[in-house]
Amino acid sequence: MRSQCLGDGASPQHAPAHLAADPGQARPPRTLITFQLLLNATALGMAYALVALGFVLALNAAGAVNFAHGDLVVLGGAVAVAAGQSTGLAAPLLLPLVALTLGAAGIVAARVAILPLVARPPEATFVATIALAAIIEHGLTVGLGAAPRTAPALTGSGSFDIAGVALGRQPLAIVVVGSVLVAGVWFLLERTQTGRRMRAVSSDRHMARAVGIPVGRYIMLSLALAGALAGIAGFLLGHQFLVAPTQGAGHMLKAYIAVALGGWGSVPGALLGALGIGFFETFVSAGFGDAWASAALYVGVLVVLAFRPQGLFGEPVGRRA
């Protein structure tokens, strides 16, 4: 997955014709390309943020890593592809359908591979969720085929031309939808009684149960929300990056890196870590190519964790329960 693909025709290697040098332009071409790269970077980071936010919500609620989370992202894109082809619904109408379907899938995944193993060693959940990821991947291969599919564009393909700057419709849609969802989740967690109870369950489920909070109900709500966010991310990314059954591991890796960089279990940290990855990949790829961007990202992760093992926004390791 590379950020250059996010801009329709905005790749720095293949700049559109109107970006060619023109003495009459009020703005130099490099500035125009920088604006496009900023949009691409923000869109890619916001998509990663939705994946990472769902990952950390599920982690905090269930107390275990769901290694099938990346495959839920792919499943969201596959649902958008299948529903779009079979129903002919406009892409904006597919968005709530994908969210509801993947919310239900998140609950099913938790009931099958996470919650029944809460009392078992962590390795049991590790193996179970990897098995679930393989089931989803092979199920999609059988159902849709191994060839990549294209999810519908949320606001159509092409770009807007504003003051000589071509801004891709899909990157703009990702930024807008992602920002609304992140703000909505923040409001839910910080400003509502439901969110406070969800955070109480994530912090200490035994204490939450002791004060009368129905722990199971709020764990299910968190896992449903995690699945819905993963599905929406898959839908939004599925137009430029296509939908292929084998993409789950890549999505999972980016979510894991974002959470590790931001601080294990920290929601704001996961969001900032995901945005940082999007910006890093976009600008390093533009300057040096995709291979260097991937290598530099992993080197950067090692450097950050060597000096701050708790992540940029996590609490010191010694203070963890």
What pLDDT digit, counting tens, does each position of 157-183 carry?
777 777 667 778 889 999 999 999 999
Q: At CA 79, angle to CA 140 and CA 241, rounded to 5?
A: 80
**Structure confidence at residue 300 (pLDDT):** 86
Q: Residue 243 in contact with residue 78, Cβ under 8 Å?
A: yes
**Structure confidence at residue 7 (pLDDT):** 46
**Structure confidence at residue 32 (pLDDT):** 62
Asked which of 32-36, 53-57, 238-242, 291-295 is least confident by mean pLDDT, the reply is 32-36
Asked which of 32-36, 42-46, 237-241 is least confident by mean pLDDT, the reply is 32-36
Tokens of 24: 């009459």
Radius of gyration of the chain (CA): 20
CA–CA separation, 25 and 19 (whole Å): 10
What pLDDT digit, counting tens, does each position of 37-90 carry?
898 899 999 999 999 999 999 888 888 888 999 999 999 999 999 999 998 888
Give the confidence band of 146 by pLDDT, cuts at 50, 70, 90: confident
With a cut of 60, say whether residue 203 has pLDDT above it: yes
**Which amino acid, one-letter code, is at 4?**
Q
Q: How far is CA 54 from the centre of its chain?
A: 7
**Structure confidence at residue 180 (pLDDT):** 95
Mean pLDDT along residues 218-234: 94
Q: Which residues contact 299 (CB under 8 A, 6 or more apart)?
A: none
**Which amino acid, one-letter code, is at 245?**
P
Asked which of 29-38, 144-153, 251-260 is least confident by mean pLDDT, the reply is 29-38
With a cut of 80, say whether residue 237 has pLDDT above it: yes
Residue 140 buriedness (CB in 10 A; 0-12 / 13-18 / 19+): buried
